[in-house]
Amino acid sequence: MQISLDQAPVGQALKLRAVLQGGLRERLERLGLYQGCGLHLEDEEALFSPVRVRGPKGEATLAAGMASKVIVHHDDDHKTPVIEMLPGEEGHIEGLTSGTGLEQALATLGLREHDRIQFLRQIPPMRYRARLGEHRRLLLTEGVAAKLWGEMDGREIQFSNARRGHPFKLLAVLGGDASQQQVAAIGIGPGDVLTLEAVCPDDALGHEGDAETGRERFVVTSEDGLRLYLEPEQAATVIVDVET
C-alpha cells in the first residue's frame, strides 16, 4: 500500500517510493536516500535547544530548527543532524533537508556544504530583553535572537552575540519562510534598531523555555541509521510503501 509519510503507521517497515517535491528529493538523494531504501517513522517527541558550533569563519549559533536540518558526516563515517551531535564532535556538512532559506542563512554565518564543523555545546534556555526604539520592550528567546542578523559597532553579528547597551541594526532574518513569519509576528524587521538590555535564564523571567518541540516534525530513521526531522509539508510529499 502506498501512502504519504505523514499518514504512515509508526514503527512499521516502510520503503521510499517517491518524493514529489523536487528540491527535497535532490537533497535526500545527496544524503543517500533513494527509491527503495528502508525507512521507519518514529513515535517520539523531540525537545530541541539552540546550539553553538565552530566553522571555518569562527563560532555561530544555530536555532534549534536550523540545527535539526543540517546533516553532518562525522569522522567515524556515521551521519547525524547537528542537533544530535555531542560536544567536541567534528565532521563536514554533508547536506541539508531544507530549502534555499536555510542555505542562505548558513552562508551568512560562514557555513556551507562540505565545510568542516565542530559541535561546541547546546545552549540552555535564555531570554533576551531588548528595547526597540525608545519605548517598546521585547522579550526574545535564544532561538529568535540567533535568527536576527545585524550590525553593531561596525561589524555584522547575530543578536545572540550582541553587547548590552549597544545599538543593533537588524539587517536580515536568517532562515526560511517560517523564520521570517516568526520574527514578523513579533513586530520587527530589517531596518529596526534593537538595544540589548539583559540576558537572563529563562526560569528567572517566568516564561516558557526556549526549547523547540518536535511535535510538529516527523522523525524518520533510514536503514543505515540516519535520523531526519521533516516538517509536515515535507512529509506529505514523501510517498512510501507500507510493508506487511
The per-residue pLDDT for 71 is: 97
- The sheet carrying 155-158 orders its strands as 136-141, 126-132, 193-201, 167-173, 148-152, 155-158
The per-residue pLDDT for 177 is: 86
Q: What is the pTM of this model?
A: 0.86
Q: Domain ranges in the chain? A: 2-45+217-242, 47-123, 126-205
Given a contact cutoff of 8 angstroms between Cβ atoms, the answer to whether 180 and 173 are in contact is: yes
- Bridge pairing between strands 51-55 and 116-122: antiparallel
Q: Measured between alpha carbons, how far is 200 from 203 in angstroms, rounded to an integer?
A: 8
Q: Measured between alpha carbons, how far is 177 from 206 in angstroms, rounded to an integer?
A: 29
Q: What is the mean pLDDT of each run of 10 residues along the chain (244 residues)?
A: 93 94 93 94 79 95 92 94 96 93 94 96 90 90 94 96 96 91 93 95 48 66 93 94 84
Q: According to CATH, what is the number of the domain 2-45+217-242? A: 2.30.30.90
The per-residue pLDDT for 203 is: 58
Given a contact cutoff of 8 angstroms between Cβ atoms, the answer to whether 113 and 94 are in contact is: yes
